[in-house]
Structure 1
Amino acid sequence: MSESKQETIRYPASRIVDIAKALSGDVRVRILEALGDKTMSVSQLAEALGVAQPTVSINVQILEQAELVVSTQGANREKLCSVTCRSILLELPAKPGEGLHRTEEIHMPIGMYSHCSVQPTCGMAARDGTLLGSTDDPRVFYMPERIDAALLWFSGAGYIEYYFANPMPPGASLDELHIRAELCSEAPSFKMTWPSDITVSINGLPVGTWTSPSDFGDRKGKLTPERWRAGSEYGRLTEWRVTAGGSQVNGEAASGTTIGELGLAFNQPIRVRFEVREDAPNANGMNLFGAGFGDHPQDIVLSFVRYHEQPQA
């Protein structure tokens, strides 16, 4: 047995779901069986299990994320795998929230909104850069194909609203709520000087306004497909944060709305709205970028943060 291998690893209650998922696949259990007390390369595992090498690689990564397998680089730059322990001990949760991570995240595709109000110029594009429906036709925002959107835009005033599930069980405390998204203003083609005031509200309460300085199109977005030639190329990754002391946008104080005022309930959706208000000083529309467009590989991310986890014994 490798000297670095532990006999038993103890996992807190917040890791139960990770470990359970890692052990729920037949291929992953067979990988652990094949490794035993040995070190094997990915190609050796594929041959021993009779499974395609890419499949082995994916399942090894899942085991690595759960810290059940560790990998090193061999002499020929091949990945060498070994197990980290011979047994595991899982602590069961004893209080609401102990089975959750310190930060739980929900990733929402930008096309999965629940309500909207848009006006031309407006439209949507898929991840490959093709248009969904026709441009400047608000009916596109009500078509089933909208779920494939990787970029959506509207000019002037309007909004896009999403319903998020609340992962926190009854009685579990929540200290912060974060929203991250890549956005910018919207102008015909693009305009580098084109400010737009984009406000986020949660359950009807405003948590802050960010003024986008531009409809960015001066260069290609890092993830934007080559076939896209319609102007807007990338946005700015922007974060709204709600705490017990108020709300911030990109770390700057923005609103007096506190997390306790949001009325969060485990059995009620959390309504998140991105809006350019009609009375905004700069009502110049919005581009919202998904995982396959712009500069950042993410959709809308809603994070639930607790300051404290159950201490390990």
Structure 2
Amino acid sequence: MEIEVSTKHMSLLECLSSETRVRMIEMLRERTMYVKEIADELKLSSAIITKHIQKMEKAGILSTKLVSGTRGNQKACTLSLDQLVLQFRSPVETTNPVESTSYSVSIPIGHYTNYQVKPTCGLASPYKVIGMLDDPRYFAEPEHVEAHHLWFSSGFVEYLIPNYLIGKTQARSIRITMEICSESPGYNEDWPSDIVFSMNGINLGIWTCPGDFGSQKGNLTPDWWRKTDTQHGLLKTILVTEKCTFIDGVELSDINSTDLTLTPGQDIRFRITSPEDARYPGGISMFGSQFGHYEYDIEVTVSY
């Protein structure tokens, strides 16, 4: 995950200000642990540890699930994040000190302009399922623009990013942030999926999502949504710079903004694909600002 250091993310940043919570992260880095195990190792009460867990779970740092055992149900804790990149300054400002101008847009996940999907698949607004489940025809239903959760086992969805470039300007960087994960029937947190990101037909790179997350209720997922289905995804940031393409601060490919040659009047088509012939053909689930863990649509910033 990559986040901007701002008050918008205080709940997550506050989690790192406690020595106890940082020690818990160190412990969970090695293995899944029960609440009582953590409490015993830190020599604190289970009640205190539970409060720390609730705060970290709300921030998306860890997830919990009830596991039945000889002593009844116990809460098992697992890290949800592999890494966290803190962005203090604009990447364009960091890599190139030349003054830059930018614009930002939020694209609801239901506002795709092209698609090709296969079951399992479906759409949901914050209030109901849209159309019939596992029927790709309903991705053409006019109500699809209201979707805040969509999923498919293979195929793609494509979005048109507004191009507000004028004159002789050319895009220097494009940042895209979204909540996304794999898609399995119900959910399966060990369900890898090779997800391909492309722009105007140019492959930006492949990211392998580790799973389809459902053991913990999404912070924004509505109460009517079944607890046995996908609840949330991972917040991922793709950044195309003048140097290369990154995902969460890690180099994804050597494709750069010059390769895209984005100029005024040109469409900017962003496609997210789960290929059937991938090594891990695990599908795609996407979440909008009223579903999942994070209050994000597809957030795009174009710098020029």
**TM-score bin, normalised by smaller chain:** 0.5 to 0.7
**Mind listing any 5+ residue stretches in structure 1 that lack a counterpart?**
1-99, 307-313
Q: Deviations over 1:239-298 (max 9, x none)?
A: 111111111111111112110111212112100000112332111100010110001111
Does 181-190 or 270-279 show the bigger shift? 270-279
From the superposition, tell whether residues 270 and 173 of structure 1 become closer, same or farther in structure 2 (CA, over 3 Å). Answer: closer
Matches within 5 A, 1:99-248: 102-128=101-127, 130-155=128-153, 157-229=154-226, 231-248=229-246
What letter matches 2:208 in structure 1? T
Is the Cα–Cα contact under 8 Å of residues 208 and 249 in structure 1 kept in the other structure? no
Corresponding residue of 1:36 = none
Paired AA for residue 291 in structure 1: S
* Residue 174 of structure 1, CA deviation: 3.1
Question: What is the CA–CA distance in structure 2 between the aligned matches of 1:232 and 1:186, rounded to whole Å?
Answer: 8
Q: Is the 8 A contact 1:203 1:263 kept in 2?
A: no
- Determine whether 1:256 maps to 2:254: yes
Q: 2:171, 2:261 within 8 Å by CA — same for their partners in 1?
A: no
Cα-to-partner distance string for 1:143-181 (whole Å, 9 max, x where unaligned): 1010000000001x2100011111121222432111111
User: Among residues 271, 274, 277, which one is paired with 1:276 in the alignment?
Assistant: 274
Judge conservation of contact 1:209–1:249 (CA < 8 Å) in 2: no
Counterparts of 1:190 and 1:143, CA distance in 2: 25
**What aligned pairs does 1:34-113 form with structure 2 within 5 A after superposition?**
102-113=101-112
- After superposition, the Cα gap between the structure-2 partners of 1:218 and 1:181, relative to the gap in structure 1 and judged at 3 Å, is same
> CA RMSD of the aligned region, Å?
1.5
Greater alpha carbon shift after TM alignment, 136-145 vs 166-175: 166-175
Q: Deviations over 1:197-218 (max 9, x none)?
A: 1111011111122211110001
SS in 2 for 1:188: coil
Give the TM-score, by structure 1 length: 0.63
Distance 2:170 2:143 in 1: 38
Q: Distance in 2 between matches of 1:184 and 1:240?
A: 14
Q: Is the 8 A contact 1:223 1:296 kept in 2?
A: yes
Paired residue secondary structure (2:144): helix
Asked which structure has the greater CA Rg, the reply is: 1
The question of whether the paired residues in 1 share the 8 Å contact of 2:165 and 2:265 is answered with no
CA distance in 2, matches of 1:101, 1:127: 37
**How many angstroms apart in 1 are the aligned matches of 2:259 and 2:277?**
24
Structure 1 CA distance for aligned equivalents of residues 160 and 172 of structure 2: 20
Counterpart Cα distance in 1 of 2:183 and 2:214: 10
Once residues 258 and 108 of structure 1 are traced to their aligned partners in structure 2, the CA distance between those partners, rounded to angstroms, is 23
> Which residue type is aligned with residue 275 of structure 1?
T
Unmatched runs of 5 consecutive residues or more in structure 2 = 1-98
% identical equivalent positions: 38
So what's the TM-score if we normalise by structure 2? 0.65
Q: Distance in 2 between matches of 1:117 and 1:304?
A: 27
Q: Does 1:290 align with 2:269?
A: no
CA-to-aligned-CA distance 1:67-116 (integer Å, 9 cap, x gap): xxxxxxxxxxxxxxxxxxxxxxxxxxxxxxxxx98431111111111111
* Corresponding residue SS for 2:179: strand
CA distance in 2, matches of 1:123, 1:279: 21
Q: Report the Cα distance in structure 2 between the residues aligned to 1:233 and 1:214, rounded to whole angstroms.
A: 12
C-alpha distance in 2, partners of 1:279/1:214? 18
